[in-house]
Chains A and B, each alone.
Chain A
């Protein structure tokens, strides 16, 4: 490795070569030490990475083996904790309390409405839309039970198995919402007996009372088609908590 000063043109050339990945030996070592020490060199590498990045779009996707996720899950402490369901129950109770409060509020607004012009209808509707929802997912043929709870204010969905999850090596369990239009939309795969997700706004808008939640068995990484491909092992409808 050399420590002789590098000209601007040389530095930019080295940054391009480094981003392209063609360097080895001493040139690579030099580029790495520049990247660690010189913000301008790093910025030039970053620009080149951005320029070349679209080439990666052409690389064929390959589903990784199941053990790749298990390793990640274990490293981040994803082993299931026995208190999941207790925690969920506590949350559901809390939301029930909030829902009762919301109902009381709606009732009191209804009283007010008697003497108010019709445009005051808006608040109770908004209150109703924000009521927490819950679903019990199950299936006649299996003992599998899952509880789902959803808080529209934060758009947070939590699903937890209330019984042992089936072990399907090499498969994933994918959760779906099926709104009024009958078209399933993926809510993601369950990494274990519990999952939490924050729903994107367009999905949250359709996430309301009467919508069906379903859990299907899919290839690792989830359904390749964007629609359920395997058997549904549990389902249930969203109701007011």
Chain B
């Protein structure tokens, strides 16, 4: 089946990519339009990962300021706009969760980002969209699949997952490592 058919909203990428281009050219209204279309999704991710509302708002603001400053680095060939934004949001929220200090001046933070936090940008979609990932997670032991989901979407560490499921840390690590290995094998088939 056509890959585009899996996209949640085929018009979204078409609408968002030109906005990111305009933002790169310094168009504030384009940033406002991008915010209008994407902020609920991104804020949902922030709230899911960060217990404190103030942190969630900080990270949301930092994401859009990063987009404002770094939109020119966005590469449509690597990822759709919404995936790029969602992964950037998640990575920043994880950094906040793990106690990585954000710079006090958000603009400064945004300008330094390429130098000190490459993970905030890097993403490569490989045409393995939703359905494919869902299929491959189904191939794993259900418990391992559930743990991988929880780790990514709820931001739990090895130690937190081990405590939550009342298993030794080493067991949790080997479950997840094995799960990731099998997941990659399935996705690369």
Residue numbers of A with Cβ under 8 A of B are 13, 16-24, 28, 32, 35-36, 42-43, 45-65, 67-69, 71-73, 75-78, 172, 174, 188-191, 194-198, 200, 221-222
Contacts and interface: CB of A to CB of B under 8 A. Distances in A.
Given A36-B116, A63-B40, A195 B29 contact: yes
A72 B65 contact: yes
Contacts of A60: 44, 48
Interface of B: 8, 14-15, 18, 22, 27-33, 35-37, 39-41, 43-45, 47-48, 57, 60-61, 64-65, 68, 78-79, 83, 86-87, 90-91, 94, 98, 106-107, 116-119, 122-126, 128-130, 133-134, 148-149, 151-153, 155-159, 161, 176-177, 180-181, 183-184, 187
20 contacts: A13-B180, A17-B177, A20-B176, A24-B157, A36-B117, A50-B128, A53-B125, A55-B153, A56-B86, A56-B90, A61-B40, A63-B40, A68-B60, A72-B68, A78-B28, A188-B33, A195-B33, A196-B27, A200-B15, A221-B40
Contacts of B15: 200
Main secondary structure of the interface of B (DSSP, over half): helix
A13 B157 contact: no
A49 B86 CA distance: 10
A197 B36 contact: no
Given A23-B158, A56-B87, A69-B35, A50 B124 contact: yes
Contact of B64 (A16, A54, A72): A72
Contact of B133 (A23, A52, A71, A194): A52
Given A17-B180, A59-B48, A68-B60, A75 B39 contact: no
A188 B126 contact: no
Contacts of B31: 72, 76
A28 B45 CA distance: 21
A200 B39 CA distance: 20
A100 to B, nearest CB: 28
Given A46-B122, A51-B126, A172-B36, A17 B60 contact: no
Contacts of B30: 196-198
Given A56-B90, A61-B40, A67 B125 contact: no
A75 B107 contact: yes
A50 B30 CA distance: 26
Nearest to B84: A53
Nearest to B53: A65
Contact of A45 (B36, B86, B119, B158): B119
A12 to B, nearest CB: 9
A158 B154 CA distance: 41
Contacts of B37: 188, 222
Contacts of A13: 177, 180-181
Contacts of B44: 59-62
Given A61-B43, A62-B47, A200-B18, A21 B151 contact: yes
